[in-house]
Amino acid sequence: MTSFATRVLVVDDEPAIRRLLRGSLARAGHEVIEAGDARAALAALAIDKPDLVLLDLGLPDRDGLELIPLVKAAGAALLIVSARDATDEKVAALDLGADDYVTKPFDTEEVHARIRVALRSRLSRVAEEPVVQVGPITVDLAARRVLRDGAEVHLTPKEYGFLAQLCRHPGRVVSHAALLRAVWGAGHEHDVEYLRVAVRGVRRKLEEGDVESSMIRNEPGVGYRLITG
């Protein structure tokens, strides 16, 4: 994918997890730096300038959430490693600017996939792709058009807004609040039922199969994700 080696900073207080990730990431061609606490992480952030940070929020010396703005300010992509039930923590991390999250105990393949997406979107941020292609569906963000097998499909403005918002972050989870804010406006961040209605409409008009194979994946309690391939 990229011609140069990406540098990944792994922040976790457990040596076993760091060892596991180091081996796995190194095999995938990444350069890996490790940090066991927030202090070491901040030092590494300044000195090594990583492209991506894998951050476990449960750190011994500081709340991991506090590091998020600092990582974003340093210009690195950020993946959160979070416990299974910590839905609120995930939402808070996303709101603070994290790109995505993986759930502990994680699957290393899942970690690789998320890293790929995060790095890709970090690069594409410079020149935003105006056309997104998912299977038979084409979303033309510049022309505000949606085609299915080449034929234009009419979506309501909210349905289109919802889909466009997901297409701007392909492969990444977008939180309920972020979607609602972008499409319905401030003051509707808690009206999740609007999203449910919109996603039903999009699926009905663009897809045939069951919900499980939909290109729009539901992340319970967190948000939606556009599955790009």
Partner 1 sequence: MTPARPDPDALLRLAEQERSGRLKVFLGAAPGVGKTCEMLDDALGQARAGVDVVVGVVETHGRVETEARLRPLPVLPRKEVAHRGHTLLEMDIDAILERRPSLVLVDELAHANAPGSRHDKRWQDVEEILAAGIDVWSTLNIQHLESLNDVVASFTHVRVRETVPDRLLDRAEIEVVDTPPDELIERLRAGKVYVPQEAARALHHFFSRSNLSALRELVLRRAAQAVDAQMLDAVRAQALAGTWATADRVLVAVGSHDAASDVVRAGRRLADALRAPWTAVHIETPGERGAQANARLAEAMHLATQLGGQVLAMPASGVVDGLAQAAADTRATLLVVGAPRPRRFAWQRRLTVDTLARRLPDLALQQVPVVHRAVPARLPTPVPDWRRLAAGLVPALGATALVTALGRLLFAAAPITNVALLYFLPVMLAATRYGLATGVLTGLAASLAYNFFFIPPTGTFTIEDPQNIITVLVLVAVAAVSSQLAARLRQQALLAGASARTSAALAGFARLLTGVTTAEELGRVLCAEAARLLDAHAVLLLPTDGKLVVAAAFPPQDRLEVLDMAAAQWAFDRAQPAGRGSGTLTASEWLFTPLAAGGAPLAVLGLARGDAAAPVRSDRLPLLGSLVDQAGLALERIRLEHDMAGVRQLEERDRLRAALLSSISHDLRTPLTAVVGTLRELVPANEDQVPILATARAEADRLQRFIANLLDMVRIEAGAIALRTEAVDLAEAVASAVHDLRRTLGTRAVTMDIAPDLPLVMVDPRLFHHCLINLIENAARHGGEEGAITLAAQRRPDGLDLRVLDEGPGLPPGMAVRIFELFTRVEGSDRKGGTGLGLAIVKGFARAMGLDVSAANRGDRAGACFTVHFSEHHLRKISPE
- Where on the chain is the footprint of partner 1 (CB under 8 A)? 14, 16-17, 19-21, 23-24, 27, 58, 83-85, 87-88, 104-109, 156, 158, 176-177, 181, 186-190, 192-194, 196-197, 199-200, 204, 210-212, 214, 217-221
Token readout for 181 is 């804010």
Nearer to partner 1, 167 or 199 (CB): 199
Token readout for 152 is 């234009």
- Write down the least CB distance from residue 130 to partner 1, Å: 26
- Write down the least CB distance from residue 35 to partner 1, Å: 16
The DSSP bridge pattern shows strands 77-83 and 100-104 to be parallel
Rounded Cα–Cα distance for residues 125 and 96 (Å):
18
- Write down the least CB distance from residue 61 to partner 1, Å: 16
Nearer to partner 1, 124 or 196 (CB): 196
- Write down the least CB distance from residue 186 to partner 1, Å: 3
Residue 172: partners with Cβ closer than 8 Å, 6 or more residues away: 99, 100, 117, 118, 121, 225, 226
Rounded Cα–Cα distance for residues 40 and 27 (Å):
24
Beta bridge partners of 8: 32, 52
Nearer to partner 1, 104 or 145 (CB): 104
Nearer to partner 1, 136 or 194 (CB): 194
Nearer to partner 1, 49 or 190 (CB): 190
Nearer to partner 1, 129 or 219 (CB): 219
Beta bridge partners of 223: 175, 219
- Write down the least CB distance from residue 34 to partner 1, Å: 14
- Write down the least CB distance from residue 150 to partner 1, Å: 25
- Reference 54, options 22, 18, 79, 91; nearest CA is 79
Nearer to partner 1, 20 or 129 (CB): 20
- Write down the least CB distance from residue 100 to partner 1, Å: 17
